[in-house]
Structure 1
Amino acid sequence: MRIRPFNEQAAEQADRHSDHLTKPPGSLGKLERIARQAAGITGELWPDLSRKAVIVMAADHGVCEEGVSAFPQEVTGQMVFNFLSGGAAVNVLSRHSGADVFCVDIGVKSDLEHPALITRKVRYGTGNIAKGPAMERDELMQALAAGINLVDELYAQGYRLFATGEMGIGNTTPSAAIVSVLAGLAPEQSVGRGTGINEQSWRTKVGVVKRAIEVNAPDAGDPYDVLSKLGGLEIAGLAGVIIGAAANGCPAVIDGYISSAAALAAMRMTERVYPYMIASHLSQEQGHAKLLELMGLTPVIHMDMRLGEGTGAVLCFPIIDAAIKLMREMATFDGAGISRE
């Protein structure tokens, strides 16, 4: 897909405008940086990003057989219905932030039916990565395409700001494996506590990630190989969402650790997605800070969250709104008749 280069001219125009607002230069910190980025992404000084979508990709993972999660696999499908009924945390925060939630079955183990469910099922869950590849390469390409095509559809409906969300019991394990290979982190650094596992379960999880890497021998220089051997269908779908947002000239607000693993894979597929990404928050997953640092992304908020679903990304939406409103509505020194000296 063709992704336009970041519009440096528009970003510099935003910088100049910001410097003329009635405040000391740089005093609004990250708000100014967000406004600059939004201008560079869209080519507009204060773009209209009022139509917001959080795309929650849902899929199951064969690696759950290894006891890596504190919750049973059936919870994935059950949570999908919770999203669809509006009862999950991401639904509450989306209503608060003026965003719409789109839940996608891209690889749940069971058949799900609901009028609001978007079905893009590639297969019924991934293979157990501790024993073999997660999926075939053509299945990975289907999942990537599903994410890209959904953004295209939503863009055609007027959506201009996208957030990544996910649901998949056990999905911090493939995320950690992806990060270990693509970011060069030891599993002891990339593996976190997920849904709240104890010390022994954490050690088991580290061992599973090591075994998955050893068994599959992914090529660290080929993100498609890494994602097909170690990834999840929802992780691949989110990589597609990020690429699709960039191709449509829209910001992609990245949620926590799992979404960031998808973002890293998308970056390795095409570096042009990088300036289109906004890191929403710093997850409590221990590898997240190192991963964001490697990617050159600075999280907007620090809320000690580790839920997923897109909750951190959606919580960031009002801050993005505020950054653009400040650019549009705040007085300049000249307009307000205020002296700078």
Structure 2
Amino acid sequence: MTADPDQQPAPADREQQLAPADREQQLAPADREQQLAPADPSAAAGSGEPSAAVGTGLEEALAAIRPADEQAMAAARDHQARLTKPAGSLGALEELSVRLSGLAGVCPPPLPSPATVAVFAGDHGVHAQGVSPWPQEVTAQMVANFVAGGAVVNAFARQAGADVMVVDVGVAIPLHGGATLLDANVRRGTRDLSTGPALTRDEALAAVEVGLGVARALVDSGAKCLLTGDMGIANTTPAAALIAVFTGSDPAVVTGRGTGIDDATLDHKVDVVRRALALHSPGPADPLGVLAAVGGLEHAALTGFILGAAAQRVPVIIDGVIAASAALAAAAFAPDAAAAMVAGHRSAEPGATVALAHLGLEPLIDLGMRLGEGSGAALALPVVEAAVRVLHEVATFDSAGVSEK
């Protein structure tokens, strides 16, 4: 199944229910403001020129993103030095607590709970190029699995005490998930990025706005930490293209095996990415154009989701290679957005390592995973909470009456 190149995006007045999949709580209707104007199919994508018009939600988010608070970071470092432990003995947890204090503008920062994994789902026209052995309908089938609570991310999220919500931003098959699924479908899958732009600029912007709206609604409903999730058969191909553009890397370096392709298919996949970049010549200074030319709808929505978290000073845990490619796009829109990003784990996909290094992020865990869904982000959530709890709960040498060296 491939997307119809002439298909119009879904109407703007679509149902927008944001109830998390693992709880019955509902978000207030006023918090679901996601007016997605229908895209203009004739709009040019990937031209390398900045967008003439940026959505109001994106403009507001970019204006709200600020650098980390240096005073709060200094206070966190000072507090760490006074806790009942040798200086530096908690390793990366100490610097993470400092970064989270800088994001929140206060030491100690809020505990990252409640937390929600938002799984953005979409299909890809490039699937027709044979870059994945899995049939495209698996995307819709896995969305149903997420909604039913039967996927790996559901299990990991339950263990971590996080909610899971699923957002259809571009699945090719119409879905019926009721209150546990947000229908924000911009179009029924992207076009084939190797033969033309995957999206129009308006479609890419609409998907970014979906992610912004989801982040805003979740934070307004009380979320203190957001986790990135994704689902889309063949979505590692646009992820590789995005990472190649934003880092200047060769496609062979950042293209991986995805769901487990053989050597011949990997070589073909690299060639597909290389041909797409040669066709579009997308410029990293125009992130919306890059997303339109070679991105996916879930990649664009995750970009908005990350920007939305940064605008609201809430940490966002980056999952695997799909989320990492979106994080690069978010940083291209607003470099200071990186202050909100926490690299949950090191994906086995090579592009993820390149992307995180480019962003200056060190993954919290490394288990050789490459599943996606938000699984690695969910595993990392307790580590993030532990870093914050140290600042909240560990006694100082003075308060505990412990002698220093």
TM-score range, shorter chain: over 0.9
**Structure 1 CA distance, aligned partners of 2:284 and 2:397?**
52
* Letter matched to residue 318 of structure 2: I
**Structure 2 CA distance, aligned partners of 1:264 and 1:299?**
15
Q: Structure 2: give runs of 5+ residues left out of the alignment.
A: 1-60
2:399 match: 335
Report the Cα offset of residue 294 of structure 1.
1.4
Q: 2:173 aligns with which of 105, 110, 129?
A: 110
1:305 match: 369
Secondary structure at 2:135's aligned position in 1? coil
* Letter matched to residue 273 of structure 1: A
1:244 match: 308
**Structure 2 CA distance, aligned partners of 1:277 and 1:219?**
23
* Letter matched to residue 118 of structure 1: L
Report the Cα offset of residue 278 of structure 1.
0.5
Matches within 5 A, 1:1-341: 1=61, 2-46=64-108, 47-115=110-178, 116-341=180-405
- Deviation per residue, 1:272-319 (Å, 9 max, x gap): 201110111111012222221111111111110000001111111001
* Letter matched to residue 363 of structure 2: P
* Letter matched to residue 294 of structure 1: H
- Deviation per residue, 1:94-125 (Å, 9 max, x gap): 00001000100000001001111101100000
Report the Cα offset of residue 38 of structure 1.
1.4
Report the Cα offset of residue 48 of structure 1.
3.0
Report the Cα offset of residue 14 of structure 1.
0.9
- Deviation per residue, 1:78-100 (Å, 9 max, x gap): 00000000000000000000100
**Structure 2 CA distance, aligned partners of 1:48 and 1:201?**
44
Q: Is the 8 A contact 2:138 2:233 kept in 1?
A: yes
Report the Cα offset of residue 219 of structure 1.
2.1
Report runs of 4+ in structure 1 exceeding 2 Å deviation. none
**Structure 2 CA distance, aligned partners of 1:242 and 1:220?**
18
TM-score (norm 2): 0.83
**Structure 2 CA distance, aligned partners of 1:220 and 1:253?**
23
Equivalent residues, number: 341
* Letter matched to residue 68 of structure 2: F
Report the Cα offset of residue 5 of structure 1.
2.5
**Structure 2 CA distance, aligned partners of 1:338 and 1:119?**
56
- Deviation per residue, 1:25-84 (Å, 9 max, x gap): 111011111111111111232313211011100000000000001211000000000000
* Letter matched to residue 212 of structure 2: I
Q: Is the 8 A contact 2:94 2:387 kept in 1?
A: yes
Q: Is the 8 A contact 2:126 2:191 kept in 1?
A: yes
Q: Is the 8 A contact 2:228 2:316 kept in 1?
A: yes
**Structure 1 CA distance, aligned partners of 2:155 and 2:284?**
38
Secondary structure at 1:331's aligned position in 2? coil
Secondary structure at 2:164's aligned position in 1? strand
**Structure 1 CA distance, aligned partners of 2:386 and 2:246?**
34
Q: Is the 8 A contact 2:111 2:385 kept in 1?
A: no
**RMSD, aligned α-carbons:** 0.9
Secondary structure at 1:68's aligned position in 2? coil
Task: Using the aligned pairs only, state the percent identity.
Answer: 46
**Structure 1 CA distance, aligned partners of 2:338 and 2:230?**
20
Report the Cα offset of residue 132 of structure 1.
0.4
Report the Cα offset of residue 7 of structure 1.
1.1
* Letter matched to residue 186 of structure 2: V
**Structure 1 CA distance, aligned partners of 2:303 and 2:284?**
17
* Letter matched to residue 218 of structure 1: P
Report the Cα offset of residue 244 of structure 1.
0.2
**Structure 1 CA distance, aligned partners of 2:284 and 2:70?**
31
Q: Which moved more, 1:270-279 or 1:78-87?
A: 270-279
Q: Is the 8 A contact 2:284 2:332 kept in 1?
A: no
**Structure 1 CA distance, aligned partners of 2:360 and 2:392?**
28
Q: Structure 1: give runs of 5+ residues left out of the alignment.
A: none
Q: Is the 8 A contact 2:72 2:107 kept in 1?
A: yes
Secondary structure at 1:185's aligned position in 2? coil
**Structure 1 CA distance, aligned partners of 2:287 and 2:67?**
22
Q: Is the 8 A contact 2:169 2:183 kept in 1?
A: yes
* Letter matched to residue 34 of structure 1: L
Q: Which moved more, 1:276-285 or 1:212-221?
A: 212-221
Q: Is the 8 A contact 2:304 2:330 kept in 1?
A: yes
**Structure 1 CA distance, aligned partners of 2:161 and 2:339?**
24
**Structure 1 CA distance, aligned partners of 2:154 and 2:351?**
27
